[in-house]
Amino acid sequence: MRMITLSDISARGGSPLTPAMGLFMLALATAPFWLPAVGLYQYLGIEVAIWLIFALGFNLLFGYIGLHSFGHGAYLGIGAYAFGLFQQEVMVSLWGGLLAAILAASLAGALVGAFLSHRRGIYYALMTIGFGQIVWFCAIKLHGVTGGEDGLLGIPRPDFVVGPIRYSLADNYSLYWFVAAILAIVVVALWRLVNAPFGRVLQAIRQNETRARFVGYDVWLIKWLTFILSTAFAGLAGGLFSMAQEGAYPDVMSLHQSGLIVMMVLVGGGLVSFWGPVLGVILYFVARDIIGGITETWLLWFGLMFVIMVMTRPEGLAGLIHVAGARLRKKPAPGVVPVRKEA
């Protein structure tokens, strides 16, 4: 199964100037104006943007190199706690807190990845669960550092400061624009990365790790670096999450939260498309807020949709859009009779 990138669902090549990228940026820039119009709330845009950063970074590991991490919520939580502790114990600084979040998650990822990168398949997946549960347990028990089950409360939202420019992020409207700008940078950077030779190597390892090793690639090093890079994006998302929530909680490290990101990526089609995580995250939050407004059992229906999607269309929404687009392109124009080829 090869990765498709929207003309497959948009245009080929590493240039970020594609129809899909333009559509995504347009939706990102106009979200504060149309979200209330469709009955949704402003904070949802912040929440979706943060989870998109998390999902896109996770898909670098899950969809491109094919390493199944089921404990990735731990690095989101590490980033959240690192951001909060920096604000409370060191100084109130936006850039310092985000840097602390990224570095803390990356260091944890480097340590864990050193143990994981020799493994593959089910053994890799089980070890990610084990390490994730260790981090979650430590977050609950280290009351003096993390606040235990209550979490780390009262994390301030620092101002956006660049030289003489100071911009308050205290309200959700201004925070959305900041998170949206970070997301836009992440999307462009990851798009260029996966379409560069490094991205091709990741896909080669996913397709046949043994063959990639035989042609000269240091598979262990590449798997390790990819894990670190994925956890760095998780840490960034965690730092933004703690700033938005004004708190950090151990629940984000739980196996349940780690499973949610896997479901989002799979339903969206992260295994076959760069845009799969985007579709999956949006679908999840729309289901949570719209179906959740109708029934309290919304997660049951989302779970059933997930099962049906995996059974009937394992390539997810992105694959479904690709197939539908291919069929429409083959459809003859009105009034044109297709020529039947005789055997």
What gap in Å lies between CA 181 and CA 236, rounded to an integer? Answer: 13
* pLDDT tens digits along 145-198: 888 888 899 999 999 999 888 999 999 999 999 999 999 999 999 999 999 999
What gap in Å lies between CA 176 and CA 34, rounded to an integer? Answer: 14
- Tell me the sheet residues that pair with 165: 162
* pLDDT level of residue 331 (50, 70, 90 thresholds): low
What share of the chain has pLDDT > 90, as a percent?
53
Say if CB 161 and CB 94 are below 8 A apart: yes
What gap in Å lies between CA 265 and CA 159, rounded to an integer? Answer: 32
What gap in Å lies between CA 234 and CA 80, rounded to an integer? Answer: 9
* pLDDT for position 57: 96
> CA of 198: how far to CAs of 39, 46, 55, 224, 225, in Å?
42, 30, 19, 13, 11
* pLDDT level of residue 74 (50, 70, 90 thresholds): very high
CA 45 to centroid of chain Cα atoms: 15
Say if CB 128 and CB 69 are below 8 A apart: yes
- At 4 the three-state DSSP class reads strand
What gap in Å lies between CA 52 and CA 279, rounded to an integer? Answer: 9
* 335: pLDDT strictly greater than 60: no
Q: Sign of dihedral through CA atoms 250, 47, 178, 14?
A: positive
7-11, 103-107, 258-262, 299-303, range with greatest mean pLDDT: 103-107
90-97 long-range contacts, CB within 8 A, separation 24+: 92/156, 92/158, 93/158, 93/161, 94/158, 94/159, 94/160, 94/161, 94/169, 94/243, 95/161, 97/158, 97/239, 97/243
Give the other-Cβ count within 10 Å of 313's Cβ: 14
Q: What is the mean pLDDT of residues 276-281?
A: 92
Beta strands 160-162 and 152-153, pairing class: unpaired
